[in-house]
Structure 1
Amino acid sequence: MSGQTRLARWLSSEVVRVALLLALVAVSTSVSGLLVRVDHLVFDIGQRLNWRDMPADVLIIAIDEDSLNRLGRWPWPRDRHARLLRTLCASKPAAIAVDIAFSEIGDDTQADAALGDAVAACGNVVLPLVIEATAVGGQLLESPPFHSLLAAAAGIGRIGVRLDEDGIARSVDLREGIGSATWPLLAEEVLRVARQLPARPVSGPVTRPTADDRPAASHALVREQTRRFEFVGPPGTVPRLSYASVLEGRVAPEMFAGRIVLVGATAVGLGDFLPTPVSALDQPMSGVELQANALLSMRDGRLIRVLPLGPTLLAAALLAAIPLLWLPRLMPLPGLLVSTLWVLALGAVCARLPGLLQWWFAPGGTLVAALFAFPLWSWRRLEAACRHLDEELRQLRAVLPDGQENVAFPGRIEQLGFEQRIAWVQAAQRTMQALEAQRHEALTLISHDLRAPLASVVCQLESGAPCDPQQLLPPLRRALGMVQSFLWLARAEALDRRQMKELDLTSLLHQAADESWALAEHRRLPIVRSLPDDPVWITGNFEALERSAVNE
């Protein structure tokens, strides 16, 4: 198998292994919810980068500090709210939402009646329903407006938003109720009354509940159709007018014509204030402004759906493998830079996705996999490099003779560190270069020694003079001996140490002496054996050692 084929197979197998490992990291992290705060952070960054122009047809009448200073402390008489509604209704607004709970009948029945008459006369006033606990950890109750006010209202909507694990308000439930999800959002009811609901319904049909409608079987809170909503800006972005200024007639009536008007508290310590993605913890957003943001998102079709768990895990697994498109093709530094850009781009796209497509994909698991992609792939590369170095060391250990300068191989290669492996290979390379230089020098000497006898023979033959063959034999025999010695040396260097075996040197020399007996007898030379009686064990190649002994 060629080196390129082995490399291609290694790459394909490693890409599959790392892709599966990254997918496992992404899926397990997404399922565990360990990085849910990272998901929220990415969403919040997207909200801060996604501010839109504030529409001019939504207005808040704020019960602010100035109004409290001028009109007195809270709560105010209900006939004051009745006067405000009559002032607003005279300008014919599209709808009026009052974010003030009127769950109980007041002490002043005439003021209650005046408020009910004003609500009925307007015909487009939406009032809130509050779902609250009777005590800490107590039973939940639905608290709509008192009976006569409920009958006069053009719509009843639930106020309140959902808080995520970090205590930040990002989501609303389009339907909620005790025992069954019956009540719509206040924002939806306001849009219905104003006839500004989007063509595509945001939720199912609404059955208008009455004051006597109460679930009998269950006291559990039921929520349906959770959506995240967009923010048009930080707290204070939605235009607002002071309650006192409107009540005292210091605002032109045409300011409210055709607009959606929300009445609610913005004074610190009055009403509900919640932290949001576009506000710091020391600058929360008032409940009425939260309702305005939810209303705008609903009207503009910009409520954000959360991608279900199944598609989220599938997308996380697929995105986790994306870095393997470039990591096998790039060197470490470019791979690190591209992987870093990928993490930043992935976070930016996920942050902008809700504003672009109104879908939210929790990117925590995918971001973790993207951060792990480069280290994991580098680890696999280092493992492959270590295996390659180990194989090279084993081959060099088998090829190089013992005792060579600067090379002393350890007993176990696996015990070496990565840098030590590289040092051993470099030392072996230097030794190989030294051996190659020696071989080149030997070839030069051999070629020089062969040239002299052969040149002598060639000169005698080219001279044309008669010559005695006996005069040509000595230089030719000398040249033949040199060639034969060179061949034996080459064969000895080509021997593989792994194929050498233990053998008895004494027996080998006896056999070499026996083979030389006929030649010695022909030349009338004695053979004297001076060998030990005990075996002498060595490691080597029998044929090469026997040939060497015979030649000696």
Structure 2
Amino acid sequence: MKLRQRLAMEWLAVALLASCVVAALTSWESLSRLDNLVYDQLSAIDRPTPPSEILIVKIDEDSLAAYGKWPWSRQRHVELFDQLAVGDPAAIGFDILLSEPGDPEDDARLAQSIAGNRDLYLPLHFVFPGSNGAEYDVKQPIEPLRQAAAGIGHVNLAIDTDGVVRRAALCFGDKAAKEDWPHLIELIYRAVHRQPSPAYDRLEDCEKRLLMPFADRGSYTSVSYAALAEGQVPLTFLQDKIILIGATANGLGDQYPVPLGDGGTLAGVEIMANLFGAIARDDFVLPLSFPQQLALSLLPTWILLIGFWRWRPRTTIIVSFGLILAILLSSVLLMQFQLWLAPAAALVGVILVYPIWGWRRLQATSDFMDSELQNFHRSSVDIPIMRPDLGPVDVITGQAEKLTHAISHIRDLRRFINDALSNLPDPMFITDLDGKVKFVNRLAQTGMEDGAQDLALDDMLDRFVSPTDLQGVHEYLDLKNRPTKHDYVDFTSLDGQIFAMRRAPVVSDDGVLRGHIHYLADITEVAHAAQQREEVLELLSHDMRAPQAAILALLDGKEPDDTTSRIEDHARRTLALADNFVGLARIESSEFEGEDILLAELVAEANDSLWPLSNARSIVCELEDQSDGAFISGEPSSLYRSFVNLIDNAIKYSPHGGKVEITIRVTELDRQPHVSVSVADQGSGMSDEMLGQLFERFASDDREAHSSIKGAGLGLNFVAKVIERHGGHIRGENRRSGGACFTVVLPLAPEIESQDD
């Protein structure tokens, strides 16, 4: 392979590898930790200002010290809600899950207190995984509280792979209930503003996770749960506030890592306060869609890949560092438009592609020089001793010196090739792509005093091929009538010899087609032997069939008795033997020539032909057609004979007055449509010894046959050969209910199959 082509393929391989790596990293989010780290640093540049209307009511250490260990009684919450009802806040979010019933009177009192507050919303929670194999369980407040609340919203947190909460989903779909549960904070926003949030309206899928900005730690106004419940907070301080109630004490387990840069955690209720701020400001950062992320991640890599063909190495390394900086700046710029470009995959693509391409380019150059040196040594018969190296050098320089020495020698192999081709035992000539003869061996040159060099291919064929076979040779060369099994064409020469002509391509070292070799093998003796074989088969068939046909003609019309029946049976057996023998011989020596056949019609015709035989023994042949008019591609004569053999055997081995069942149906084999034909009798079945050699030649077991004439063992062998020739399968087995069953499976005709599709 030439160096230019090798480098092009190496470049393409590097491009595909880098693209696949970038696409895989983008799809699998394998570098999400690095992306998250970059996002955390960028988001810390400009922290948002928290909304002034948010007031967090904390279940803190002071509240636990005042009221005792968690959980508290319902009465504690009643006291708080009664205080809130007087304060008249704008909306209340209670981030405590009350999914287990308590004392009925306490539950009723709490429900009454909840109902006394306007726009008080309770949480529900989704537990993963769910019980009893469910994907998740929905934990809702108990029924009295659920009825008393203004609404119920989910409070599940979206935790990234590094365990940090950066994202939030404004709803969660409950697949079992076929409904979406908005987030508790989304419901509070709707209660205050009487409409869904702009972020919610824009989302095609409200379950999409959005990156939310976090305000500085401690920037939200908060009061202690106990202080508020005991009336220590002025009620005017609550008016028109959005109250968020939740646990902040460390021992209550509602603390989560957040991207604040100080390594600390934040209570769930404070995270929800930040979520409300993001909803109110409408400053969620939306991750780019996968196609957008993939395109922008691949862009720097492909800029560098294209530059490899245009820039010098110094320019390429400068551009590489510039692209790394551009990727980071793009993430910063897009964040100003509330879009997030995860930069890690793009950075890896740029960092990966430069060294890999440098390595593959150097390796390709080194391999090219090695290959040329090896070709030189292989093709040289007598190479002079090469000059010694000038001194120790690196591998590449050494290869360059050896290549310089090698290409200074003459590689003269033309005479050797010419001698080898000229002395071939059969005629051979080579043509170029324009059909001009460029080389002729000695036998092909015989009788051409004017020479054959640059002779047109048609003129060359005119000197060898008889006019009657010339068209067939041209069709073979034009690839219009090339045989399927044997890639050659037979023809008779002008002097009566028979040749098999084969054409092969002449391809250069770099895989480019340069011409064709035409080889003419003398098969005169083989062709004559084949012709004699066919004549013998015809003679044998005629000499075996004619006397038996005469016998059957003489017996026709005579009064049947035991002797005439035996004579007729022997005559019919001999006819069947002749048909099977000749059929087997022709199958093995002829090409398959199929045509579309309605299989049910052919089987029915074979069955009808055996009616006299079945009727004589009071045997009923039932044909059940479930094939829906299935067509196959086959040879009618041999298939017809095969089904006659199978049905004849079934009649032969069935008891007097029995039944032969023939079933045709469409089936599927290896995910391809086929049609099957089963022939079952009610005989005693086949012996184990016979089952192992059913389709071998001369295998026969007539011990159970209801006939005085023993079979020759060619019928099933003929059937197996025919079915195999049609690309099908046949099997024989004993049925549990008694008797033998043979099943033939054949592929549907391709044309019919495509029409059905």
Same topology, TM > 0.5:
yes
Of the two structures, which has the highest relative contact order with CA contacts closer than 8 Å and spacing of 6 or more?
A: 1
Q: Distance in 1 between matches of 2:279 and 2:31?
A: 29
* Residue 52 (structure 1) aligns with: 48
Q: Distance in 2 between matches of 1:500 and 1:188?
A: 83
Query: Cα gap change, 1:91/1:382 in structure 2, threshold over 3 Å: closer, same or farther?
Result: same
Report matched runs for 1:332-371 at 5 Å.
332=313, 335-347=316-328, 349-350=330-331, 353=334, 355-371=335-351
Report matched runs for 1:418-429 at 5 Å.
418=396, 420=398
* Residue 120 (structure 2) aligns with: 125
1:53, distance to aligned residue in structure 2 (A): 1.8
Gaps of 5+ in 1: 1-5, 206-222, 394-401, 429-495, 503-552
Contact 2:40 2:261 in 1 (8 A): no
Q: Is 1:376 equivalent to 2:356 in the alignment?
A: yes
* Residue 154 (structure 1) aligns with: 150
Q: Secondary structure at the match of 1:130?
A: strand
- Matched to 1:51, the amino acid is R
Query: Cα gap change, 1:55/1:327 in structure 2, threshold over 3 Å: closer, same or farther?
Result: farther
Q: Secondary structure at the match of 1:321?
A: helix
Q: Distance in 2 between matches of 1:336 and 1:59?
A: 54
Report matched runs for 1:315-334 at 5 Å.
315-324=296-305, 332=313
Match of 1:312 among 260, 281, 293: 293
Q: Distance in 2 between matches of 1:326 and 1:62?
A: 59
Contact 2:93 2:120 in 1 (8 A): yes
1:158, distance to aligned residue in structure 2 (A): 1.0
Q: Distance in 2 between matches of 1:248 and 1:260?
A: 20
Q: Which moved more, 1:344-353 or 1:123-132?
A: 344-353
* Residue 64 (structure 2) aligns with: 68
* Residue 477 (structure 2) aligns with: none
Structure 1 or 2: larger strand share? 2
- Matched to 2:189, the amino acid is L
* Residue 187 (structure 1) aligns with: 185
* Residue 220 (structure 2) aligns with: 238
Q: Distance in 2 between matches of 1:365 and 1:114?
A: 57
Match of 1:144 among 140, 162, 179: 140
* Residue 23 (structure 1) aligns with: 19
Q: Is 1:302 equivalent to 2:283 in the alignment?
A: yes
Q: Distance in 1 between matches of 2:307 and 2:61?
A: 59
Q: Secondary structure at the match of 1:302?
A: coil
- Matched to 1:379, the amino acid is W
Match of 1:265 among 240, 243, 247: 247
Q: Secondary structure at the match of 2:57?
A: strand
Q: Distance in 1 between matches of 2:53 and 2:346?
A: 40
Q: Distance in 2 between matches of 1:238 and 1:345?
A: 36
Contact 1:155 1:193 in 2 (8 A): no
Q: Secondary structure at the match of 1:254?
A: helix
Q: Is 1:107 equivalent to 2:103 in the alignment?
A: yes
Q: Is 1:94 equivalent to 2:90 in the alignment?
A: yes
Contact 2:173 2:180 in 1 (8 A): yes
Match of 1:285 among 266, 269, 282: 266
Q: Distance in 1 between matches of 2:130 and 2:140?
A: 18
Q: Distance in 1 between matches of 2:52 and 2:400?
A: 71
- Matched to 1:336, the amino acid is I
Q: Deviations over 1:415-439 (max 9, x none)?
A: 96135468999x99xxxxxxxxxxx
1:105, distance to aligned residue in structure 2 (A): 2.9
- Matched to 2:293, the amino acid is T
Contact 1:188 1:295 in 2 (8 A): yes
Query: Cα gap change, 1:497/1:268 in structure 2, threshold over 3 Å: closer, same or farther?
Result: closer
Q: Distance in 2 between matches of 1:287 and 1:120?
A: 25
Query: Cα gap change, 1:163/1:500 in structure 2, threshold over 3 Å: closer, same or farther?
Result: closer
Contact 1:96 1:125 in 2 (8 A): yes
* Residue 417 (structure 1) aligns with: 395
Q: Secondary structure at the match of 1:160?
A: coil
1:149, distance to aligned residue in structure 2 (A): 1.8
Q: Secondary structure at the match of 1:56?
A: coil
1:269, distance to aligned residue in structure 2 (A): 1.7
* Residue 200 (structure 2) aligns with: 202
Structure 1 or 2: larger helix share? 1
Query: Cα gap change, 1:133/1:37 in structure 2, threshold over 3 Å: closer, same or farther?
Result: closer
Contact 2:168 2:212 in 1 (8 A): no
* Residue 513 (structure 1) aligns with: none
- Matched to 1:25, the amino acid is V
Q: Distance in 1 between matches of 2:296 and 2:75?
A: 57
1:291, distance to aligned residue in structure 2 (A): 1.8
Q: Distance in 2 between matches of 1:497 and 1:287?
A: 81
Query: Cα gap change, 1:340/1:251 in structure 2, threshold over 3 Å: closer, same or farther?
Result: farther
Q: Secondary structure at the match of 2:282?
A: coil
* Residue 696 (structure 2) aligns with: none
Q: CA RMSD in A?
A: 4.4
Contact 2:213 2:283 in 1 (8 A): no
- Matched to 1:312, the amino acid is Q
Q: Distance in 1 between matches of 2:276 and 2:213?
A: 10
Q: Deviations over 1:47-84 (max 9, x none)?
A: 33452122222221111112211232222232332232
1:364, distance to aligned residue in structure 2 (A): 3.5
1:348, distance to aligned residue in structure 2 (A): 5.0
* Residue 176 (structure 1) aligns with: 173
1:45, distance to aligned residue in structure 2 (A): 3.3
- Matched to 1:233, the amino acid is A
Q: Deviations over 1:445-473 (max 9, x none)?
A: xxxxxxxxxxxxxxxxxxxxxxxxxxxxx
* Residue 474 (structure 1) aligns with: none
* Residue 634 (structure 2) aligns with: none
Query: Cα gap change, 1:279/1:101 in structure 2, threshold over 3 Å: closer, same or farther?
Result: farther
1:234, distance to aligned residue in structure 2 (A): 5.4
Report matched runs for 1:335-484 at 5 Å.
335-347=316-328, 349-350=330-331, 353=334, 355-379=335-359, 382=362, 408-409=388-389, 417-418=395-396, 420=398
Query: Cα gap change, 1:147/1:67 in structure 2, threshold over 3 Å: closer, same or farther?
Result: same
Query: Cα gap change, 1:372/1:114 in structure 2, threshold over 3 Å: closer, same or farther?
Result: same
Query: Cα gap change, 1:189/1:424 in structure 2, threshold over 3 Å: closer, same or farther?
Result: same
1:199, distance to aligned residue in structure 2 (A): 5.6
Contact 1:98 1:127 in 2 (8 A): yes
Number of residue pairs aligned between Structure 1 and Structure 2: 397
Q: Distance in 1 between matches of 2:121 and 2:80?
A: 14
1:263, distance to aligned residue in structure 2 (A): 0.4
Q: Distance in 1 between matches of 2:352 and 2:128?
A: 46
Q: Deviations over 1:511-546 (max 9, x none)?
A: xxxxxxxxxxxxxxxxxxxxxxxxxxxxxxxxxxxx
Q: Which moved more, 1:92-101 or 1:142-151?
A: 142-151
Q: Distance in 2 between matches of 1:329 and 1:114?
A: 80
Q: Deviations over 1:252-293 (max 9, x none)?
A: 33333322110000001214222233366x632211122222
- Matched to 1:231, the amino acid is P
Match of 1:253 among 220, 227, 235: 235
Q: Distance in 1 between matches of 2:346 and 2:412?
A: 58
Identical residues among aligned pairs (%) = 31
Query: Cα gap change, 1:10/1:146 in structure 2, threshold over 3 Å: closer, same or farther?
Result: closer
Q: Secondary structure at the match of 1:103?
A: coil
- Matched to 1:83, the amino acid is E
* Residue 116 (structure 1) aligns with: 111
Query: Cα gap change, 1:325/1:71 in structure 2, threshold over 3 Å: closer, same or farther?
Result: same
Contact 1:42 1:351 in 2 (8 A): no
Q: Is 1:228 equivalent to 2:197 in the alignment?
A: no
Q: Distance in 1 between matches of 2:98 and 2:344?
A: 43
Q: Deviations over 1:1-37 (max 9, x none)?
A: xxxxx99x99999877754543233123333443343
